[in-house]
Amino acid sequence: MLRRNWLQLGIAGLAGGGLSGLLRLRAASAGESSVKKPSSCILIWMDGGPTHFETFDPKPDAPVEIRGDFRPISTSVPGTIICEHLPQLAQIAHKYAIVRSVRHNQGNHGAGNHYMMTGAPPRIPVGCGAFVSFHPSMGSVAAKERSAPHGLPPYFSMPSMSRSGGPNFLGAKYAPFVVGGDPNNQHFQVRDVELPKGIGEDRFRARRDLRHLVDRLPRFSDPATADPAIAVDEFYTQAIELVTTPEAQKALDLASEPDAVREAYGRNSFGQRALLARRLVEAGVPFVTLYDGGWDHHADLFGALEKRLPSWDQTVATLINDLDARGLLETTMVIALGEFGRTPTISTLPGQSKPGRDHWASAMSILFAGGGTPGGQVVGATDRQGHSAVERILSPENFVSTVYLKLGIDPNTIYYTPAGRPTHLVSDPTPISELM
């Protein structure tokens, strides 16, 4: 129920109105909320586990072995500080929220990745290098529940898929379309989306029709058999649409962007992928993952981030501002996170000369912009030394449920595995209310 419904009726009126009055209000609220367009999502996956201290939760009053080498800076939101190497994001802090209090108990890459990508903790212990898939990822669920126009796949991942970013029991149909390569390269092209040279559209359609005549093999309909030919057929159909639809070709044509825009995003692979992600959601794609690896800073934390954070800051701030200027931020989430945070105490590993921070699942920071999210706020808090979330403690389930609701997907949905086992999309469908 919307807050204004309660204000209009009043608590006494609700009590006197009885069940019929309550049902009328719920119906009215549902009608108002249903006209809102479901959001799309650009998920910036900072693989390896970014440090919360050197990004969105600095601790300037902690001892030096905890606070580190970087200083905090003020932002456009009074009282909110972030790392000094994120000046552009500091200027637009009123456009996004920072969540500082998500924590979990999966302190290795495989399990932490799975938990944050799916909202489901791994059912068995897994190692740091494992590619874990016990549950569908957010992107694959979005691909199942949403669609994209013009033959575009509903789920993209660039330049690779996260280790837990796949569909699991939903099937290969809902795996991401992976766009590899470096979009900052002068000769970059998205693979397999153009007709081969020397084959015109008429000749291509003739070949397609011939294939339809020849390919009359039966397909198993029992889902338990998981006939791979069905997935192949679906991929083939989608590929046909992708290579023959002008709108799809236009969305993937990064070279058509003005040089000034490309420079603003940053002339590097991450910056140009972010620009391509903007073009995809602009064309109607509901979910895009930007796989941004290399955040596992056990050593040389400060030297590596001093080089990396300025360009990362430029790209993410430009993406938010560009979406806002185009009227797309209200219906497009921009989320940046990894599998966990980093240890409070800085340490130097054996054999290393420069210090870093190790894995730490008790605290992490998440940037959350767009999709109707109220900006300019910090949700939750860690203790004075950044050791653990202590205020407004939240779980990965709460985070994933928030994303699903903004995508127009009920997190309490029950899916069925090929064996018929019922599986809740998220075990706790409670969203982070401050972000809604």
| Residues in CB range of 1: below 8 A, 6 or more apart | 25, 26, 29
Q: Could you tell me the domains of the chain? A: 1-35 (no CATH), 40-183+257-435 (3.40.720.10), 191-251 (no CATH)
Query: Between β-strands 366-369 and 96-99, what pairing exists: parallel, antiparallel or unpaired?
Result: antiparallel
The one-digit pLDDT tens for each residue of the chain (436 residues) are: 455 544 444 444 444 445 544 444 444 444 444 446 899 999 999 999 999 999 999 999 999 999 999 999 999 999 999 999 999 999 999 999 999 999 999 999 999 999 999 999 987 766 666 666 789 999 999 999 999 998 899 999 999 999 999 999 999 999 999 999 999 998 888 866 655 555 555 664 555 555 555 555 555 555 444 555 555 555 555 655 666 678 888 888 999 999 999 999 999 999 999 999 999 999 999 999 999 999 999 999 999 999 999 999 999 999 999 999 999 999 999 999 999 999 999 999 999 999 999 999 999 999 999 999 999 999 999 999 999 999 999 999 999 999 999 999 999 999 999 999 999 999 999 999 999 9
Q: Output the pTM of the full model.
A: 0.84
Which DSSP letter does residue 394 get?
Answer: B
C-alpha dist (Å) from residue 310 to 111, 265, 324, 329: 30, 12, 21, 23
Burial of 120 (0-12, 13-18, 19+ CB in 10 A): buried
What tokens appear for 368 in the block?
């959350």
**pLDDT, tens digit, 9 for 90 and up, residues 133-144:** 789 999 999 999
Distance CA 330, CA 260 (A): 24
Cβ neighbour number for residue 199 with a 10 Å cutoff = 11
**pLDDT tens digits for range 54-94:** 999 999 999 999 999 999 999 999 999 999 999 999 999 99
The amino acid at residue 315 is T
Q: What's the CA gap between 354 and 342, in Å, rounded?
A: 16
Buried b (16+ CB within 10 A) or exposed e, 335-366: bbbbbbbbbbbbeeeeeeeebbbebbbbbbbb
Using alpha carbons, list the distances in angstroms from residue 268 to 42, 151, 222, 274, 311: 18, 28, 47, 10, 9
DSSP-assigned beta bridge partners for residue 369: 96, 334
Q: What separation in angstroms does the CA of 306 have from each of 54, 84, 85, 86, 292?
A: 10, 10, 7, 10, 17
